[in-house]
Amino acid sequence: MVTVPKQAPRQSLTVVDNRTNKVYELPIKHNSVLATDIKKIKSQAGDDRKEDETEQGLRVFDPAYMNTAVVESKITYINGLDGILRYRGYPIEQLVKKSDFLESAFLLIYGELPTKNQYSNWQNEIMHHTYIHSDIEGIFKSFRYDSHPMSMLTSSFATLGAFAPEANPSLRGQKLFTNAASGDPAALQILDKQILRIIGKAPTLAAASYRMRQGRPFNRPAQGLSYTGNFLYLLDHLSGTEYRPHPVLEKALDALFIIHADHEVNCSTATVLQVGSSLVDPYSVVSAGCAALYGPSHGGASESAIRMLMEIGSPENVPAFMAQVEKRERVLVGFGHRVYKNVDPRSTAIRELAEQVFQVTGRNKLLDTATTLADYARKSEFMRSRNLYPNVDFYSGLIYQAMGFPLDFYPVLFAVPRCVGWLAHWRQMMLNPSGVKIWRPRQLYLGEGEREYVEADKRKEKANATPFDAPVEVHHGGDSKRNRLASYKDAAGHTRDRAKL
Ligand SMILES: CC(C)(COP(=O)(O)OP(=O)(O)OC[C@H]1O[C@@H](n2cnc3c(N)ncnc32)[C@H](O)[C@@H]1OP(=O)(O)O)[C@@H](O)C(=O)NCCC(=O)NCCS
């Protein structure tokens, strides 16, 4: 560190470029410097590779976004060190206790808790938009019976877009949604209508993926039930009239939906914004969000956590499993978080819910293993030194399992409420008064410099080739031995002897 003469404090960063001895003063705003200000720091290439583009300005290298803010947002605040999560300023613990999912959704998207009148209109509009076109049911039926519900959900959101050409900027003009930033009522209306449609239809699509797996006919949305009550109806109703879900389970699911509704610029929300920045339709945007959420490092973790607990089997096997984790042979799923380096406030709220649910459903058999694992992890030097604490997914899976949801449905139970967060961020982006710039990161190119094309007969196998340098041999699972031994004529009429191929 270089010591510079003391001056009066000011909101700026002074940088000395030792390549040129030039001094730069970069403004600091909200405790950040602009990456485009860093780009003003230029030098002659010297020994740098041409591909380093040194003369075009210094770049910020941040693989995996370890310390990069990509948006200015007013939606959700997380403080990872103090374990704080707030939606629009309201602590998550208060919302879980006092709010309901649709109210929190309104808060996240529009910035304030709704008045009674606003809430009633909002609820009516969302429930009005729960129906899906019957052709979309056909899309579900074209999936195999054992398709993962997230594959179906991801596809079905993209499919919804095909049913809403009036909401497609590729067809109706690039500024279809961004015109809303200037208050254009038609643009605002089309923007908010898609929000209603997506939030309204998300449970219907999710339930269709579930019923498809079960080989059961799809239910039509029920009016007169809450958002989560209707979701449970869509999932579970078989026959009879006046279906009412168990109030404790309905309330618990609603609270879980609040907890999962938003989480700042996490992997799937960043994906949503990345994709949204191309100005594609919101259905494609949400579908992309689902794809990102599905991964086991993100929303797939609750499913993986339960699979892990089932594999551990019982509390006495915990030490052996933890030994594998400490040798870095295994990941302890449901632990660790990019932002929370202390307790995950969502996991605290969820533990209370778990107790309420278990009183109704009976205790989850994996709870003892989970508790032993959490105790063991708390004392483990490996876990402590890396600030790895249980996250939301460690406990949510236990509740879902007690409620009888199949394992592969857990990410769907995450995706339905997360649509709200995605749409809140997407709307905020579309309403940016300075317009929407396409998200286009740069790379540090470390590959070959320019080289001349080599004709096929002059090419040689690479010396010291590794298994990564060419496609590995793959096995053709569907090819029977009989077929491999057969001979046949190809489309051009040439006889092919497959045994010799
Ligand atoms: C969430 C997660 C992806 C965050 O990753 P990250 O911020 O990039 O953290 P890192 O991968 O840099 O981890 C830092 C260190 O902790 C270790 N670590 C992180 N999570 C771990 C886990 N769940 N089990 C074991 N070790 C873990 C890493 O191996 C690394 O160790 P090292 O410093 O010796 O190399 C990661 O903690 C994880 O994979 N957790 C399990 C999946 C999960 O529960 N996801 C849901 C999140 S809500």
Residue 141 shares a structural domain with residue 20: no
List CB contacts of 78: < 8 A, sequence separation 6 or more.
84, 85, 263, 264, 339, 340
Q: Compute the CA torsion angle 277, 280, 282, 283 (nearest 10 deg).
A: -130
| Bridge partners of residue 12, in order along the sequence | 27
Q: What is the pLDDT along the chain (501 residues), one digit of tens a residue?
A: 556 677 899 999 999 999 999 999 999 999 999 999 999 999 998 889 999 999 999 999 999 999 999 999 999 999 988 989 999 999 999 999 999 999 999 999 999 999 999 999 999 999 999 999 999 999 999 999 899 999 999 999 999 999 999 999 999 999 999 999 999 999 999 999 999 999 999 999 999 999 999 999 999 999 899 999 999 999 999 998 999 999 999 999 999 999 999 999 999 999 999 999 999 999 999 999 999 999 988 888 888 899 999 999 999 999 999 999 999 999 999 999 888 888 888 888 888 889 999 999 998 889 999 999 999 999 999 999 999 998 888 889 999 999 999 999 999 999 999 999 999 999 999 999 999 999 999 999 999 999 999 999 999 988 999 999 999 988 877 778 888 788 888 888 888 766 555
Q: In the chain, count of helices (H) and strands (E)? A: 20, 7
End-to-end CA distance of the chain: 65
In a domain, 489, yes or no: no
415 and 337 assigned to the same domain: yes
Tokens of 225: 């039930």
Same domain as 115, residue 42: no
177 within 8 A of 187, measured Cβ to Cβ: yes
Domain that residue 294 falls in = 89-440
Mutate to test the pocket of ligand 1, among 335, 378, 380, 381 (most ligand atoms within 8 A of CB): 335
**CB count, 10 Å around CB of 285?**
28
| Most ligand 1 atoms within 8 A of CB, residue of 267, 388, 395 to mutate | 388
Query: Does the beta carbon of 387 lie inside 6 Å of ligand 1?
Result: no
Q: Are residues 112 and 157 in the same domain?
A: yes
| Ligand 1 atom at shortest distance from the alpha carbon of 325 | 25
Atom of ligand 1 nearest to the CA of 335: 23
Per-residue model confidence (pLDDT) at position 110: 98
The CB of 78 under 6 Å from ligand 1? The reply is no
SS3 311: helix
Sign of the CA dihedral running 44, 45, 46, 48: positive
Ligand 1 nearest atom to the CA of residue 334, by list position = 44
| pLDDT in the model for residue 352 | 85
For ligand 1, the distance from its centroid to the CA atom of residue 331, given in whole angstroms, is 7
DSSP 8-state code for residue 220: P
Q: For residue 267, how far is its CA from the centre of ligand 1 (angstroms)?
A: 14
Give domain status of residue 197, yes or no: yes
Residue 366 within a domain: yes
Which residue's C-alpha comes closest to atom 19 of ligand 1? 336
Co-location of 335 and 427 in the same domain: yes
Please enumerate in sequence order all residues whose Cβ is within 8 A of that of 86, keeping only pairs 6 or more positions apart, or say none. 76, 77, 92
Rounded distance from Cα 336 to ligand 1 centre (Å): 5
Distance CA 38, CA 31 (A): 15
CB of 300 shorter than 6 A to ligand 1: no
Q: Are residues 94 and 56 in the same domain?
A: no
233 occurs within a structural domain? yes
Cβ contacts of residue 83 below 8 Å, gap of 6+? 340, 342, 343, 344, 345, 348
Domain assignment present for 215: yes
Say yes or no: 33 and 136 in one domain.
no
Q: Which of 440, 461, 493 is the last residue of a domain?
A: 440
Same domain, yes or no: 39 and 181 = no
CA nearest neighbour of 123 among 199, 232, 202: 199
Q: Which atom in ligand 1 lies closest to the alpha carbon of residue 339?
A: 7
The confidence score (pLDDT) of residue 251 equals: 96
State both tokens at 171.
Answer: 């067809």
Select from 81, 380, 386 the residue to mutate for testing ligand 1; criterion: most ligand atoms less than 8 Å from CB. 386
Indicate if 413 and 349 belong to the same structural domain: yes
Same domain (yes/no): 39, 168: no
Domain-located, residue 456: no
List the residue whose alpha carbon is closest to atom 40 of ligand 1: 336
Number of domains the chain contains: 2
Q: How far is CA 168 from CA 177, 259, 274, 399, in A?
A: 9, 31, 17, 38
How far, in Å, from the CA of 379 to the mean position of ligand 1? Answer: 17
Q: What is the pLDDT of residue 2?
A: 59
Q: How far apart are CA 467 and CA 465, in angstroms?
A: 7
Query: How far is residue 371 from each of residues 305, 309, 368, 374, measured CA to CA in Å?
Result: 13, 10, 5, 5
Please give the pLDDT value at position 85: 95
27 with 153, same domain: the answer is no
Q: Is 259 in the pocket of ligand 1 (CB under 6 A)?
A: no
Distances (CA, A) of 9 to 4, 28, 31: 12, 12, 14
- Tell me, yes or no, whether 272 and 150 share the same domain: yes
The amino acid at 398? L
The whole-angstrom separation of Cα 402 and Cα 309 is 14
Catalytically active residues are 337, 393
- The protein residue with its alpha carbon nearest to ligand 1, atom 7, reads 338
Ligand 1 nearest atom to the CA of residue 299, by list position: 46
The closest residue, in CA terms, to atom 29 on ligand 1 is 328
**How far does residue 404's CA lie from ligand 1's centre (Å)?**
29
How far apart (Å, rounded) are the C-alpha atoms in residues 471 and 271?
29
Ligand 1 atom nearest the C-alpha of 332 is 24
Residue 2 lies in a domain: no
Distance 434 CA to ligand 1 centre (A): 37
Task: Assess if residue 283 is contained within a domain.
Answer: yes
The alpha carbon of 354 and the centre of ligand 1 are apart by a number of angstroms equal to: 25
Nearest CA to ligand 1 atom 32: 386
Query: Atom 45 of ligand 1 has which residue's CA nearest to it?
Result: 297
Please report the pLDDT score of residue 3 as a whole number: 67
Question: Which domain-ending residue is among 440, 463, 496?
Answer: 440
Distance 85 CA to ligand 1 centre (A): 20
CATH number for the domain harbouring residue 371: 1.10.580.10
Which residue, 417, 440, 463, sits at the end of a domain? Answer: 440
